[in-house]
Amino acid sequence: MIRVGIVGGTGYTGVELLRLVCQHPEMELRVITSRKEAGQKVADLFPSLRGWVDLKFSDPAQAQLSECDLVFFATPNGVAMEQARELLDAGVRVIDLAADFRLKNVTEWESWYGMTHACPEWVDGAVYGLPEVNRDDIRSASLVANPGCYPTAVQLGFLPLVETGVVDLGHLIADAKSGVSGAGRKAEVPILFAEAGDNFKAYGVPGHRHLPEIRQGLTRAAGGRSVGLTFVPHLTPLIRGIHATLYARLTHPEADIQALFEARYANEPFVDIMPPGSHPETRSVRASNQCRIAVHRPQGGDMVVVLSVIDNLVKGAAGQAVHNANLMFDWPETLGLTQVPILP
């Protein structure tokens, strides 16, 4: 049993992390921080946790995080980099669910996120927490950079094609849609019910912060070869879910794409390669840590269309963080993550 702290337990990712951690047989919640809600019972803010979490929110300045074995940062970008160093120096292992340590190029990170990096010396030492790629490195990591939600769905969908070099790497297209919970638990006009409901729109077309993260991962998968990626995110009137429709042109038309995907993910507990002709739905993964993928070659041509769906709050955030923790502490990878998707 390890002692766990959560920094920033009041957002959608934070409460999802609380839901998973409080049911985990090897984790004991010790500290949950929030400046605004300090002193309030967690279950009073989130009644879904009544009977599961008896703690109160702690002021971050007074929280005894250094007494934990593992600390999750479910905070906005820019928070973990200010606080992680002290914890790491104290021997506490850290999983950051924000973007502070995802990009290896600090200059590029500062350009995309509009701030100076406060902990650049830990960027190289951070392990990118996509278990399907970095499983062995995650096991020994002190600091894990949990992937973003879009990058998880897109990379898992493209990886088998990019790793084997059977597609044109210069012209990949990711057309992705997300539910409004991906924007966080905050009051902003574009995500109000009357604005997002009964509506559908693209955003971030000139450039989205997840673009360099996806490109970094695919470049590594391609063995360092340059990858050309067009990434267009969309906002949908859903609460949870990401649906990524991915396009690539085959350079090896003789390749059996279905078999390639099945072989790549044969031993992955949280990636489900569906039968030929399938069309995965976001509701089929709701509240679970599953990624469901289907592969198509329309009219038998040279274009591959990959459909990849995840729950943005679970496989795209909190569930993946718990998966990483299982690896870090040498537990079964599926421990605490075997929830069946909910329907409807």
Q: What share of the chain is helix, strand, coil (3-state, %, to 5)?
A: 35, 20, 45
Q: Pick from 343, 232, 334, 231: which is nearest to 281 by CA?
A: 343
Question: Do the domains 150-312 and 2-125 match in fold?
Answer: no
pLDDT surpasses 90 at 321 = yes
Per the document, the length of the chain is: 344
Integer Cα distance of 336 and 264 in angstroms: 24
User: Cβ atoms within 10 A of the Cβ of 132, count?
Assistant: 19
Q: Which CATH superfamily is domain 2-125 in?
A: NAD(P)-binding Rossmann-like Domain (3.40.50.720)
> What are 180-235's pLDDT values in tens digits?
999 888 878 888 888 889 999 999 999 999 999 999 999 999 999 999 999 999 99
pLDDT tens digits for range 147-169: 999 999 999 999 999 999 999 99
Q: Is 291 a catalytic residue?
A: no
What proportion of the chain, given as a percentage, has pLDDT over 90?
A: 93
Confidence of residue 264 (pLDDT cuts 50, 70, 90): very high
Q: Is domain 150-312 given the CATH code 3.30.360.10 in the classification?
A: yes
Q: Could you tell me whether strands 229-235 and 201-202 are parallel, antiparallel, or unpaired per DSSP bridges?
A: antiparallel
> How distant, in Å, are the alpha carbons of 231, 240, 304 from that of 175?
6, 17, 13
pLDDT band at 294; cut points 50, 70, 90: very high
The domain ranges of the chain are 2-125, 150-312
Residues 14-49 as b/e (b if ≥16 CB within 10 A, e otherwise) read bbbbbbbbbebeebebbbbbbeebeeeebbeebeeb
**What span, in angstroms and rounded, lies between the C-alpha atoms of 142 and 92?**
8
What pLDDT, on a 0 to 100 scale, did the predictor assign at position 43?
Answer: 96
Helix, strand, or coil here: 285?
helix
Residue 210 near residue 176, CB atoms below 8 Å:
no
Tell me which of 22, 119, 149, 291 is the catalytic residue.
Answer: 149
- Tokens for 294? 């289907």
Tell me the residue type at 189: V
* Per-chain mean pLDDT for the chain: 96
Give Cα separations from 222 to 118, 129, 159, 177, 225 (angstroms). 30, 18, 9, 25, 5
- For residue 61, what pLDDT is reported? 85
Q: What is the pLDDT of residue 307?
A: 98
Quick check: 295 pLDDT over 90? yes
Q: What is the pLDDT of residue 118?
A: 97
Among residues 266, 313, 304, 302, the alpha carbon closest in space to that of 153 is found at 313
